[in-house]
Amino acid sequence: MRARLAALLSAVLVAGCGWSGSDAATTATGGGGTIEYWLWDSGQQPGYQKCADAFAKANPGLSVHISQYGWDTYWSKLTAGFIADTAPDVFTDHLAKFAQFVDLKVLRPLDDLAPTAGINDGDYQEGLAELWKGQDGKRYGSPKDWDTIAMFYNPVSLQKAGIDPATLKDLNWNPQDGGTFEKTIAHLTVDANGVRGDEPGFDKNNVSQYGIGSDGSGGGGWGQTQWSNFAGSAGWQVTDKNPWGTHFNLDQPAFQDTLSWYYGLVRKGYMPSFAEIGGNNPVGPDKQIQSGLAAMAFDGSWKISTFTGLTDTAGKKLEIGIAPTPIGPTGKRASMFNGLADSITSLSKQPENAAKWVAFLGGAECQDIIGESGVVFPARPQGTEKAIAFNRDERKLDVTPFTDQVKDKTTFLFPVTSNAADITALLQPRMDAVYIGDAPVSSLSTVNNQLNDLFKVAQ
């Protein structure tokens, strides 16, 4: 097992929820045993510290030590910890990593521990809890939050273009002409001479503001913040089933037509190129809107705090609006539905205490604390309502473009598969090449065969 884990250290494992932050650690002391807990989102650390304090108060003799690391450091340090026996008792898990960790048997089944044996799927937003079960039917993660995708925009850019923000909720798209969505981003695009993308004389090679920003090629997280909402609203799904699909659908016309149109926005000058956003280390959609490079951009609900904290060049708070994903050829809009969970490592020397902490993290008290912080949407519906209220009352921000996707059942689940590291290693460079224009979309059929072969070999 250690040899297989070591191989993971050289794998590039990336996914949609790539929060970053400086390394930090805090402890809630209740005396006695200390539970080590890791997370990567610096924005969530204060809320979870409040949870740790409440847990220590309710469990005399136990304490929780929280370590927070930036996204890349987090996963490399965690994998190294599995090898060197320095992994934490409990850590924040991501669906892009989860399946591989289950395969490597570094996660402890929560069903085998009394405090977490009674987790009820129905206590959480529909579909979340089921995602964290292995192919053996056992549960390896306790749901902590969820996220969907929506479109952030700069109201000033819309005002200058004469576009009413209210019209954004009715945008539609199709792979033939892009629908009203493409017409809107064309009008929001402005070249260096002040000519808009839908006006005569527009210079697509000299753009000062793009109508829509970019979060990269999407090869590492199934296009979660890039093209997933378009592919989903075209009726496409990644695998034959989810979770634990074994046959991929990248060769289907619905997918390839969607991506041909999507990356065609770059060729038309409406979306920045691979090089303009920084290549393999892209400047995020938030920075693109902040700098004026883009008028709008798709991103996840976990970025609400980031966007609402933006300032302009003069240091003044930048106003931000949120609109839903556009309606697709199926007649519905769509968003990938992702979520994080808390997992217990098989190396934990105090699994029962760790399970007490995991049960508390997924319980109503902690979920309400996180909801009141407004950083993410907690997995429990009541916690979600508190997050909605915080954004409405404190930030004066309507976040229903994110939450309506769940209410209206227009979501599809993040694909959970085995061989995650191998899939990323095959898919990321090819998706980058398609974005750059070095490879046709049709080349994804070859990658699709390679992905399917991974599972044939495993069988």
CATH number of the domain that residue 429 is part of:
3.40.190.10
- Do 99 and 163 reside in the same domain of the chain? no
Spatial separation of the C-alpha atoms in residues 35 and 91, rounded to whole Å:
11
Q: Does the pLDDT at position 30 exceed 50?
A: no
Nearest to 363 by CA among 343, 373, 378, 346: 378
- Do 372 and 445 reside in the same domain of the chain? no
Tell me what the mean pLDDT of segment 263-272 comes to.
98
Q: Does the pLDDT at position 243 exceed 70?
A: yes
Q: Does the pLDDT at position 32 exceed 70?
A: no
Spatial separation of the C-alpha atoms in residues 271 and 213, rounded to whole Å:
6
Pairing of strands 207-212, 321-323: unpaired
How many domains does the structure of the chain reveal? Answer: 2
Q: Does the pLDDT at position 47 exceed 90?
A: yes
- The string of pLDDT tens digits covering residues 295-321 is 999 999 999 999 999 998 889 999 999
Spatial separation of the C-alpha atoms in residues 184 and 205, rounded to whole Å:
19
Pairing of strands 335-344, 90-94: antiparallel
pTM value is: 0.91
- Do 222 and 356 reside in the same domain of the chain? no
- Do 279 and 353 reside in the same domain of the chain? no
Give the pLDDT band of residue 242 (cuts 50, 70, 90): very high
Q: Does the pLDDT at position 9 exceed 70?
A: no
User: Which of 403, 426, 441 represents a domain boundary (last residue)?
Assistant: 403
Q: 410 lies in a domain?
A: no
Tell me what the mean pLDDT of segment 352-357 comes to.
98
- Cβ-contact 121, 310 below 8 angstroms: no
pLDDT of the residue at 27 = 52
Tell me what the mean pLDDT of segment 215-226 comes to.
95
Q: Does the pLDDT at position 78 exceed 80?
A: yes
Give the pLDDT band of residue 57 (cuts 50, 70, 90): very high
pLDDT of the residue at 109 = 98
- Do 176 and 219 reside in the same domain of the chain? yes
pLDDT of the residue at 26 = 59
Q: Does the pLDDT at position 8 exceed 70?
A: no
- Do 164 and 266 reside in the same domain of the chain? yes
Using CA atoms, how far residue 205 sits from 187, 268, 384, 442, in Å, is: 16, 9, 44, 25
Domain with 307, as residue range(s), is 149-336+418-458
Q: Does the pLDDT at position 162 exceed 90?
A: yes
